[in-house]
Structure formats: structure tokens, C-alpha cells
Amino acid sequence: MLFTNQLNWELHPYFKTIEGIQVSAHFYIRRNGELWQFVSCDDRAWHAGASHYRGRGNCNDDSIGIELEGLEGDTFEPRQYQALLDLIPALTHQYQIEHIAGHEHIAPARKADPGPGFDWAFLQHALGPSPVSFPTVILKATPN
């Protein structure tokens, strides 16, 4: 409900502390690889917040948000990578996507996800040759 801006703020005391924030994502990938879509890719979602990447601010204006279930810095499941490997080519076929980055790259002062547990090098290698650019990262020795 959080990613659709329909969370009932009265259900839990913590929810009251985040009441009113705008949070949504186009996609959510569960640890088992299950893919959920909350917002049409043709519509703006509120996944990035205050952000700046490659000389542009307000990343929500022209990005597609994909959230991964897990904790920032933790590792991600092979099924999550497979879901990304299925989703990203479909998106790049439909939309002119030039860059793939994480919250840690677009809002580093506020967010640290997906963090060091996410294998950017594996994802980039598994997707193969592409005009899409990735953030500069330290390569992991072995893929997940």
C-alpha cells in the first residue's frame, strides 16, 4: 500500500511518522522474483524523491522506478536478478532508457540502496551489450 500512496496511516504508530510522504514505484520485485506493477510506466511515480543524476534533477520526472524487496546493503536473490533480466529488456524496447542507477546514485545523501549487496557488474554483464549506461561500480569477483 505504501508504493501506491494508499497506506492507512492509522493502522500502526510508525505509519503516523511517515504520514503524507509521497511514495510510489512503477515496479516491485519480491525476493522470490515475483514482479508487481503499481504505476503505469507512462505515468510519474514518486520513487526517487529529491534526486540528481548525470546533470539532471527531479529524477521522478523521467525515470521508471524498480524497487527490490530487501535491505540496503544486503544481497539479493537470483530470482530477483532474473526478474530484472526479464524486465529491463522489455522496458528498453518500449522506452528510450539511457541509464540504469540506484537510489544510492541519485540521492546519495538520503538513500543507500540497493547498496553494496547489489551486483551491478553481474547485471550489466548478464544484459549483454547495450547502449544503456550503468554507474561506475567496484566489480564483484563472482556473480550471485
Question: How is residue 56 written as a grid cell?
Answer: 539532471
pTM for this entry = 0.82
Measured between alpha carbons, how far is residue 15 from residues 22, 24, 48, 106 in Å?
A: 13, 15, 20, 25
Beta-carbon contacts of residue 133 (< 8 Å; ≥ 6 apart): 98, 99, 100
Task: Kindly state the helix (H) or strand (E) to which residue 87 belongs, with its residue range.
Answer: helix 78-94
Identified catalytic residue from 10, 19, 34, 67: 67
pLDDT tens-digit readout, 70-116:
988 899 999 999 999 999 999 999 999 999 999 999 999 888 899 99
72 given a catalytic annotation: no
User: Tell me, which fold does domain 13-127 have in CATH?
Assistant: Lysozyme-like (3.40.80)
Band of pLDDT at residue 140, cut at 50, 70 and 90: low
Domain ranges of the chain: 13-127
